[in-house]
């Protein structure tokens, strides 16, 4: 960056948007094809026991619960027929799986395809668009399959990026992320009164710098150094300033962790958790409050929303 921060020389190693898209698109295709090929070869050339040892199949399951979720989706909970903990596996939330009779051939049709919703030591819950009509009373197995939706969304994101962002927050952000423009930082230091009085010096310094940043601020540190605590404080300070915050994380558990820490503060009077919470909160008021607000947002976008608006929802904050 030149003196004064008015302009920046692009790093010779940095990729332009066009170079980034042209390099990433074929890599996504290669990764997709490799996953599909691995899934096909694994199921066709291996025994079911071998597949379970690799973690791509869970055998000998029974359906112990069925519930109807939002938008007509069905949640089926499966446990081991032996009543034990589930075997070691590579299933994760949002993975696409197929449900089959336990002894069915690898090439046979499935009872249904769904998405993993919740994982516990002794059970796995899967969301299905349509509940299987037959076979649920017999021993079952779940097979992990390639998730083409993930790759399609990544490709769509690259296409949108390649077209150029003409408006919205990203219009200014993309050139900064690709090194074409320097980030902007306010010169005026504004003191803040922390909500969390137990913040250490490094956390307070990071929060101060984040509040001065107009575009991008990277908070980096090893595990256990209080990054989530710092992020929660930054969110609270921005909300106090009147900002609207969209907080994202790499996993549902990480999002739930942020939500749980934010909820007790009086400044967070309308907190929405996108989709459902993926773990049980210690404070039931937190869980039910967020659940009701999720329902509210859902119904606000539906034709029948006027019916729901007549219901008065309490605010679940201290």
E strands in 159-240: none
Beta bridge partners of 167: none
Whole-number pLDDT of residue 287:
44
CATH 3.40.50.300, applies to 168-309:
yes
pLDDT digits (tens, 9 = 90+) for 178-218: 888 899 898 888 889 999 999 999 999 999 999 999 889 99
Domain boundaries, the chain: 46-146, 168-309
Mean pLDDT of the region 259-272: 69
The CB density around residue 306, as the number of other CB atoms within 10 Å, is 10
Q: Selecting from 2.40.30.270, 3.20.20.70, 2.60.40.10, 1.10.1370.40, what CATH number does the domain 46-146 have?
A: 2.40.30.270
Mean pLDDT of the region 59-65: 93
For residues 284 and 137, what is the distance between their CA atoms, to the nearest angstrom?
33
Contacts of 165 (CB under 8 A, 6+ apart): 171, 174
Question: Do 207 and 236 touch, CB atoms closer than 8 A?
Answer: no
Query: Confidence band (pLDDT; 50, 70, 90) for 264?
Result: confident
Which residue intervals of 14-169 are DSSP H helices? 17-45, 48-54, 148-163
Tokens matching residue 54: 């690799």
User: Which SS3 state, helix, strand or coil, does residue 68 take?
Assistant: strand
Beta bridge partners of 211: none
pLDDT digits (tens, 9 = 90+) for 65-86: 988 876 678 899 999 998 889 9
Whole-number pLDDT of residue 245:
86
Q: What is the mean pLDDT of the chain?
A: 77
Least confident of 27-36, 265-274, 299-308: 299-308
The answer to whether residue 160 scores a pLDDT higher than 70 is: yes
Question: Do 292 and 298 touch, CB atoms closer than 8 A?
Answer: no
Q: Contacts from 266-273 at CB under 8 Å and sequence distance 24+?
A: 266/317, 266/318, 267/195, 267/236, 267/239, 267/240, 268/236, 268/239, 268/317, 269/315, 269/317, 271/317, 272/297
Tokens matching residue 98: 């197929």
Query: What pTM was estimated for this model as a whole?
Result: 0.58
The answer to whether residue 19 scores a pLDDT higher than 60 is: yes
Backbone phi and psi for residue 105, each to the nearest 5 degrees, phi listed first: -65, 155
Query: Confidence band (pLDDT; 50, 70, 90) for 318?
Result: very low
């Amino acid at each position: 960056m030149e003196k004064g921060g008015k302009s920046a020389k692009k790093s010779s190693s940095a990729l332009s948007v066009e170079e980034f898209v042209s390099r990433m698109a074929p890599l996504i295709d290669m990764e997709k094809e490799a996953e599909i090929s691995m899934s096909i070869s694994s199921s066709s050339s291996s025994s079911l026991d071998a597949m379970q040892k690799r973690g791509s199949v869970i055998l000998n399951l029974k359906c112990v619960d069925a519930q109807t979720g939002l938008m007509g989706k069905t949640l089926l909970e499966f446990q081991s027929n032996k009543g034990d903990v589930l075997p070691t596996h590579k299933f994760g939330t949002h993975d696409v799986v197929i449900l089959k009779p336990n002894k069915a051939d690898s090439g046979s049709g499935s009872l249904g395809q769904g998405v993993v919703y919740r994982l516990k030591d002794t059970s796995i819950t899967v969301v299905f668009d349509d509940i299987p009509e037959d076979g649920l009373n017999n021993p079952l197995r779940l097979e992990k399959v390639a998730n083409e939706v993930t790759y399609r969304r990544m490709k769509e994101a690259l296409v949108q990026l390649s077209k150029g962002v003409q408006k919205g927050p990203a219009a200014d952000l993309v050139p900064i992320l690709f090194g074409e423009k320097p980030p902007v930082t306010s010169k005026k230091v504004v003191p803040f009164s922390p909500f969390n009085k137990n913040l250490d010096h490094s956390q307070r310094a990071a929060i101060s710098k984040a509040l001065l940043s107009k575009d991008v601020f990277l908070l980096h540190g090893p595990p256990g150094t209080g990054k989530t605590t710092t992020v929660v404080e930054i969110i609270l300070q921005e909300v106090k300033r009147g900002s609207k915050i969209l907080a994202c994380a790499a996993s549902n558990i990480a999002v739930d962790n942020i939500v749980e820490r934010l909820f007790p503060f009086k400044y967070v009077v309308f907190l929405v958790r996108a989709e459902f919470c993926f773990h049980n909160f210690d404070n039931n008021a937190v869980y039910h409050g967020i659940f009701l607000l999720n329902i509210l947002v859902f119904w606000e976008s539906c034709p029948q929303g006027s019916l729901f608006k007549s219901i008065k929802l309490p605010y679940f904050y201290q």
